[in-house]
Structure 1
Amino acid sequence: MPVFITDDHLKTPAKGTKTYSDGGPKGQKGFVLRATANGAFSLYYQYLNKKKLHPKTKKPVRDWELIGTVKDGWTIARARAEAARLAALIALGKDIRQIAAQQLADQRAMGVTFRQVHDEYIAYCSQLVDRKWGRVPRKETWPNIQSALKRPLEWWGDKVASEITPRDVKELYDSIVAEGYPAQANNVRGQLGTLFIWAMHEERQYVSKSPVVKQLEDDKVAEKADLEEGRVLDIEELRRFWFGLNDPDCPGSRLSKLALKLSLVTLLRTGECVKIERELVGPKTVTIPLKNVKSRKAKKARPVVQPLNSLAQEILGEAFSIGDAKRDYAFPGTRKRRAAPMSQQSLGALLRRTTDDANGHMGVCEYLCLEDVTPHDLRRTGATILSELGYTDAEIGRVMTHKAADDDAAPVTRERYIVSRRVLTMRPVIDRRVDMLNHLDLVLREELGLPAAAALPAPQQLLSAA
């Protein structure tokens, strides 16, 4: 029976649990005290939740909302007043559980700085987890994420994360754009959006909403790649690039320049070329293991087995003739990274750096008087040549290892790689993927004036002979 709950009811029962419902003229309907044998006293508000119906009777179920415990400083009088407040909210049709969750999130967010959120997020991204290609960081690009968040950390490090506003994000974004780096600005904004969504998760609740809101179309800053159809090298530029890389005075190590050539003749990504392992180079193909394949997160992802035309065999043969022929990678790093492959980013930096930069080192493009050539432009040039030779988007997409649900090419093949600009004169069309790369080999030799393919042993045989 209901009783008017007082401090006299704060007695530990000999066993089990005792429950008291508040009653009497001064009591509050729904206010409940529970006392347990282990000395715990919990204070609840009990009510009919009209938004939650019993699956059989279809009537509102009785819900319990914890107000607090005596151990945490709640008194009977204070808890009864809180129960009265909750009853008033229920009478107004409010969802008290949602309100309580929001209050908890706000309280938790108070005092949590952006630096704390950032550090915990980076630790989360870099934590090792099991994948089907091995044990790797949860986000393998976490160093790039950390780099992208460097400026936000400098701006907002000690600021409470929940106090960061959309205006703050806009000011940060505009500051990067004003320096002439729209692609970097878009990347930073995207990484911030992911971080704040992570911080909103119910396990953390460091913020209740994200300050990274959807941009208006007029506020978006187009990247350079969005303003152009795509950079491809014409045949004169190809000649200058190919033979310029052979110049001993051209910036960069011989292995770095060979990796760039290999991307052109195989259409592999430079990130895949630099990670080619010695044991996976066969007589006519090279296997890129799943751990190095860009599309490995797809459910049906498989290692890439790419045919090697004669130019590719020559390049790999020369690569393994430099340094230790028994090393793990065709293109190893330098100094402390000798046991690891060279970084993909180093190839991009090698092409674009100029003597006007802070370090003052000349890059390949400046040395060869080529404008804005990127490693990906080499794939784009190869794809465009194959298109001019009459191959279909689907055939080109397969040789570029673009995943598609059917025999048609993935949309990215036509949208980003096949450019409607002439590189070569048209040639007779032949078929099949191996023939495609051999055809590319033949045309490059003819256009670049290279000698005909010699009967070469496979790279593996070259290694064993060494």
Structure 2
Amino acid sequence: MKLTDTAIKNLKPRDSKYYIHGDMSNGRHGFAICVYPASQKYPSGTKSWFFIYRFEGKRCFLPLGKYPTMSLADASRELERHWQVFASGKNPATVEEDKKIELEAAPTVKKLAEEYIERHAMANKKSWLEDQRILEKEVYPAWGKRKAQDITKRHVNDLLDKVVDRGSPQTANNIFKIIRKMFNWAVEKDRLKISPCLGVKAPAAITAKDRVLSAAEIKTFWNSLDNPDASMTVEVRHAIKLILLTAQRPGEVSGMHTKEIDGNWWTIPADRSKNKKAHRVYLSPLAREIIAKAIVEAKAAQKRAEARKAREDNISRKVSEEKEYCGYIFPCPHLKKDKPIERHSFSKALKRNESEDGLTTLGITTFTPHDLRRTAASFMAESGEMDEVIDAVLNHSKQGIIKVYNLYRYDKEKQKALEMWEQKLISIVTVTEPQADASQS
């Protein structure tokens, strides 16, 4: 029947409840009103609106409201709301509960970040430990307990603006790169429907990576590393010098192992190199001297650790003085496990040695560990080394057709270039007269 206010008002109770189904002008089916038997409390009976439908083979009765509290017009609008849910393939009777369950199961930002680190970053990024550190320090305190799906573009901008306002614009850029990648990964894996970073721009201008230390700066910085007042471990001091001397990446130097060294050559294995190709680095006499000193320190640290372990186990054990050291050249002094110092240890050490205004580090204009690699390359270029040789020293991937046809490894040329750079570096840090600056050439 066609439901009208008059027709509904005139419906009388019977011995048992009954339903009157109404035709909707828009073609929606399932609209009905139920008339209940009269009772002592309700002598004239009661009437309730229902949406009756079949879902997954079962007949469902969804109450919409009581008449006349809910008028025919209001009931029609309520039916339309539930019909849209039904048309989308969901059960209108359980959709709210389903949403609640889905929300409870939705990952927090911390949970999502941990999954991102484990499933993506650890497998694809050599800098995953740095990503993890930044997330733990910068993101978890602000968002860790929030549901990832509740983070909005406004939240992203507010977080980044606070970091910029405290005077760390490049840190804000790094945070943005990490969370943008994390949220994009979450969308790819269907953990989220949309990334809150969509449409957000880098919070600060990207600074050009062109910092090259001058000869005078190299001398000041190098000698400052030997100053016992410098706030950094002996492992970091040796490693930073080796970055400048070998022109290799900070992360590759930090993970150097005795198994990678054969005579005058250090082979960085493919799984530790940025371009996934094994890379041979010539170790000049000064480089070998620094490594030898580092090994002495590492062996001493190992002996202390073994002695401490023996005391803890209440075992009388003498560590052999003649035992050849095998392990990381720059072991982490703060961990009991056999691990190297982490790449960001260099940046943190330099940060600790910054002036109060943040403009100078170890007596020179502030710089990053990677700037030392660029400085070495610049001085090699100033000495007349060909770009191909410098690229070979730096382990840059070949581009274009040369990538296919030029498979020469340039070992002789690399050795000559690094020997020349060592001589130049020694003259810089030992002589008293001014030196020419690669940064000015």
**TM norm structure 2:** 0.62
Q: Distance in 2 between matches of 1:448 and 1:270?
A: 21
Deviations 1:397-425 (A, max 9, x none): 2211111234779xxxxxxxxxxxxxxxx
Aligned twin of 1:462: none
Q: Which amino acid aligns with 2:194?
A: K
Deviations 1:280-315 (A, max 9, x none): 2111210112232122xxxxx322111122221222
Q: Is the 8 A contact 1:110 1:162 kept in 2?
A: no
Q: Which amino acid aligns with 2:391?
A: G
Q: Which amino acid aligns with 1:306?
A: V
The change in CA–CA distance for 1:152 and 1:262 in structure 2 (over 3 A counts) is closer
Which one of the candidate residues 400, 419, 432 is aligned to 1:438? 419
Aligned twin of 2:159: 172
Q: Please state whether the residue corresponding to 1:189 is helix, strand or coil.
A: helix
**1:338 Cα deviation from its structure 2 partner:** 6.0
Q: CA RMSD in A?
A: 4.2
Aligned twin of 1:116: 108
Q: Please state whether the residue corresponding to 2:419 is helix, strand or coil.
A: helix
Q: Distance in 2 between matches of 1:287 and 1:222?
A: 37
**1:278 Cα deviation from its structure 2 partner:** 0.8
The change in CA–CA distance for 1:166 and 1:393 in structure 2 (over 3 A counts) is same
Aligned twin of 1:13: none
Q: Distance in 1 between matches of 2:335 and 2:145?
A: 35
Q: Distance in 2 between matches of 1:335 and 1:156?
A: 29
Q: Which amino acid aligns with 1:290?
A: A
Q: State whether structure 2 residue 193 is matched by structure 1 residue 213.
A: no
The change in CA–CA distance for 1:112 and 1:140 in structure 2 (over 3 A counts) is farther
Q: Distance in 1 between matches of 2:141 and 2:281?
A: 44
**1:276 Cα deviation from its structure 2 partner:** 1.3
Q: Is the 8 A contact 1:114 1:158 kept in 2?
A: no
Which one of the candidate residues 309, 315, 328 is aligned to 2:290? 315
Q: State whether structure 2 residue 359 is matched by structure 1 residue 379.
A: no
- Aligned ranges for residues 44-59 of structure 1 at < 5 Å? none
The change in CA–CA distance for 1:110 and 1:184 in structure 2 (over 3 A counts) is farther
The change in CA–CA distance for 1:147 and 1:316 in structure 2 (over 3 A counts) is closer
Q: Which amino acid aligns with 2:339?
A: A
Q: Please state whether the residue corresponding to 2:291 is helix, strand or coil.
A: helix
Deviations 1:331-353 (A, max 9, x none): 11114246211122112222221
- Aligned ranges for residues 198-209 of structure 1 at < 5 Å? 198-201=185-188, 203-204=190-191, 207-209=192-194
Q: Please state whether the residue corresponding to 1:180 is helix, strand or coil.
A: coil
Aligned twin of 1:149: 135
**1:266 Cα deviation from its structure 2 partner:** 0.9
The change in CA–CA distance for 1:162 and 1:203 in structure 2 (over 3 A counts) is closer
Q: Distance in 1 between matches of 2:264 and 2:400?
A: 27
Aligned twin of 1:257: 237
Q: Distance in 1 between matches of 2:132 and 2:60?
A: 43
Q: Is the 8 A contact 1:262 1:315 kept in 2?
A: yes
Q: Which amino acid aligns with 1:285?
A: W
Aligned twin of 2:72: none
Aligned twin of 2:118: 126
Range moving further from structure 2, 275-284 or 187-196: 187-196
Deviations 1:222-267 (A, max 9, x none): 14x33xx622221122222223323344433333211111111111
Q: Distance in 2 between matches of 1:140 and 1:270?
A: 12
Rg comparison, structure with higher value: 2
Q: Distance in 2 between matches of 1:139 and 1:163?
A: 27
Which one of the candidate residues 347, 363, 370 is aligned to 1:369? 363
**1:180 Cα deviation from its structure 2 partner:** 1.0
Q: Is the 8 A contact 2:298 2:329 kept in 1?
A: no
Q: Please state whether the residue corresponding to 2:108 is helix, strand or coil.
A: helix
Q: Please state whether the residue corresponding to 1:390 is helix, strand or coil.
A: coil
Aligned twin of 1:347: 346
Q: Distance in 2 between matches of 1:407 and 1:433?
A: 22
Aligned twin of 2:71: none
The change in CA–CA distance for 1:434 and 1:213 in structure 2 (over 3 A counts) is same
Q: Distance in 2 between matches of 1:355 and 1:220?
A: 24
Q: Which amino acid aligns with 2:193?
A: S
Q: Which amino acid aligns with 1:326?
A: Y
The change in CA–CA distance for 1:137 and 1:437 in structure 2 (over 3 A counts) is same
Q: Which amino acid aligns with 1:305?
A: R
Q: Is the 8 A contact 1:112 1:161 kept in 2?
A: no
Q: Distance in 2 between matches of 1:199 and 1:68?
A: 31
Q: Note the residue ranges of structure 1 that are not aligned, 5 or more in a row.
A: 1-24, 32-66, 90-95, 130-135, 296-300, 358-362, 410-430, 451-466
Q: Note the residue ranges of structure 2 that are not aligned, 5 or more in a row.
A: 1-22, 30-53, 65-78, 300-323, 404-411, 432-441
Range moving further from structure 2, 235-244 or 280-289: 235-244
Q: How many residue pairs are counted as aligned between the two chains?
A: 331
Range moving further from structure 2, 389-398 or 259-268: 389-398
**1:169 Cα deviation from its structure 2 partner:** 1.7
* Structure with bigger RCO (C-alpha 8 Å, 6+ apart): 2
Give me the identity figure in percent. 26
Q: State whether structure 2 residue 369 is matched by structure 1 residue 388.
A: no
Q: Is the 8 A contact 1:329 1:340 kept in 2?
A: yes
The change in CA–CA distance for 1:393 and 1:214 in structure 2 (over 3 A counts) is farther
**1:152 Cα deviation from its structure 2 partner:** 3.9
Q: Distance in 1 between matches of 2:115 and 2:135?
A: 13
